Structure 1
Amino acid sequence: MQLHHHTAATPELNLALDESLLLGDDSDHLRFWEPGHPFVVLGRSSSYDDEVAVETCGELRVPILRRVSGGATIVTGPGCLMYAVVLDLRERPALMDLTAAHRYVLGKMVEAIKPLEPTATIAGTSDLAFTSQDALRKFSGNSVRRVRGRLLYHGTLLYNFDLPLISRLLQTAPRQPEYRTSRDHDAFVANLEATRAQLIEAIAAAWRATPSDIAPSIHKRADELVAEKYAHSRWNTHGKL
């Protein structure tokens, strides 16, 4: 597996790079990146009007973008480490089943994080959480996209994030996992007590990933995806081109 530490210049290009790795070569990839400024990311089918505090985002000049994978709307920014795992399913046909894919990837993530947070566990369909004051607190939300025998599994890892920003930029989630028990954002999410470097080292070791540069062809395709999709308000607002 190839390991990439690469944060692109813009939010649009960061989202496009994850998709380009999915559409690219036959290699397995693990990418880490972290935005320098906050932005909102809708899931592929998420509702712009129902899930985002659009007026507040406009006032704070927070970009609202849409990713190619499913799942709920998230806020990212400094203190939120983003990761992406890309796998060739021809080598792992069992992961064509999405439930199996969730359990496989999140199982690896829990294995990596447990030495840093012993109560780390899979929660709901595709979250990671830890126990705090007898309640599960979410620190990672994840989503998946499958294309032509390849799997993109990517998500968030909160470790030093401005948590109150989430409730300012998002509305109440329309779809909530049972373990959330109707808690608001502030009572539901939490930062891991770990550093960025600790998380990267632990996760890279769990995946046995080795440092590598992203191929020029992947960068080129990412630039094309920005021009074709991620820079367009129609995609970001409605999920259509």
Structure 2
Amino acid sequence: MQLLDLTLSTAVENLALDEALLEQAETGNQPLEVLRIWEPTEPLVVIGRASKLEEEVDTEVCRERGIPVLRRSSGGASVVTGQGCLMYAVVLSYERHPELAALDVCHQYVMGRIRQALVHEVPEVNLQGTCDLTLHDRKFSGNSLRSKRSHLIYHGTILYDFDLKLIHQLLRTPPRMPDYRGERPHESFVTNVPIDRETLRRRLIEAWEVEGPMVEWPFEATVRLAAEKYAKAEWTSMR
């Protein structure tokens, strides 16, 4: 597996790069597996592929505060990210891992691997719901995936030093909630995991047995997807 530790200068480019990595893997002549790590410098709301924008996000507050709202290409509900929230993405090959075609197996494989890496630092880290990492029954990592013909991308958030107030200020009560949440509001449901950024980064790299850096990342595809898709208001606001 190759490592791409890269945060681009704009939010749309950062979302586009995840899809470009999956696109690159799909069009290659051999299996490609990548771990990408990045972190926004400013607050950002990211909604799921099928999310209803106004139902999940307080768009008026986001506009007033100049906080971008963008739609990703994978499923799941809306998240708030920014400085203090480490983002990761893992591109995996079905040829190397045919068992991951089963979604329940895929969730257990990826999240189990990340959980196992983090329990070295915080033994109480748990996996709850479909793909949430929690600490003392409070969520600090939300995740989603997108699968294509030969590869999948599994990506998510890890809150470690994030301004948690932003979540309930910017997001509405989600339309779907896991049973373990018990209808708790955001402010009593989310938390930061007490692991510093560099340790999180190191543990993720160890968890995925990275062999070396990714030298040629898909720059042109990222620019194209950013301009033609992620920067378009129609993509973000689609019904």
Q: Give the TM bin, normalised by the shorter chain.
A: over 0.9
SS in 1 for 2:127: strand
Q: Which residue in 1 is equivalent to 2:92? A: 87
What is the percentage of aligned positions where both structures have the same residue? Answer: 46
Q: Are 1:40 and 2:8 an aligned pair?
A: no
Pairing of 1:133-144 with structure 2 (within 5 A) = 136-144=137-145
Distance 1:30 1:56, change over 3 A: same
Distance 1:116 1:211, change over 3 A: same
Q: Which residue in 2 is equivalent to 1:115? A: 120
Pairing of 1:24-173 with structure 2 (within 5 A) = 24-25=24-25, 26-131=31-136, 136-173=137-174
By how many angstroms is 1:210 displaced? 3.2
Distance in 2 (CA, whole Å) between partners of 1:211 and 1:176 is: 38
Distance in 2 (CA, whole Å) between partners of 1:56 and 1:137 is: 25
Q: Which residue in 1 is equivalent to 2:199? A: 198
Segments of structure 1 that go 5 or more residues without pairing to the other structure are none
SS in 1 for 2:156: strand
SS in 1 for 2:204: helix
Distance in 2 (CA, whole Å) between partners of 1:121 and 1:2 is: 27
By how many angstroms is 1:44 displaced? 0.2
Distance in 2 (CA, whole Å) between partners of 1:50 and 1:37 is: 23
By how many angstroms is 1:18 displaced? 0.5
Normalising by structure 1, report the TM-score: 0.95
Segments of structure 2 that go 5 or more residues without pairing to the other structure are 26-30
Q: What is the root-mean-square deviation in Å for CA atoms of aligned residues?
A: 1.0
SS in 1 for 2:99: helix
SS in 1 for 2:229: helix
Question: Is the Cα contact below 8 Å between 1:23 and 1:147 reproduced in 2?
Answer: no
Aligned pairs, number:
234
Q: Are 1:14 and 2:14 an aligned pair?
A: yes
Distance in 2 (CA, whole Å) between partners of 1:16 and 1:97 is: 26
Normalising by structure 2, report the TM-score: 0.96
Q: Which residue in 1 is equivalent to 2:233? A: 233
Question: Is the Cα contact below 8 Å between 1:143 and 1:155 reproduced in 2?
Answer: yes
By how many angstroms is 1:214 displaced? 4.7
Distance in 1 (CA, whole Å) between partners of 2:175 and 2:215 is: 37
SS in 2 for 1:199: helix
Distance in 2 (CA, whole Å) between partners of 1:228 and 1:117 is: 42
By how many angstroms is 1:169 displaced? 0.5
Distance in 2 (CA, whole Å) between partners of 1:203 and 1:92 is: 19
Distance in 2 (CA, whole Å) between partners of 1:103 and 1:151 is: 15
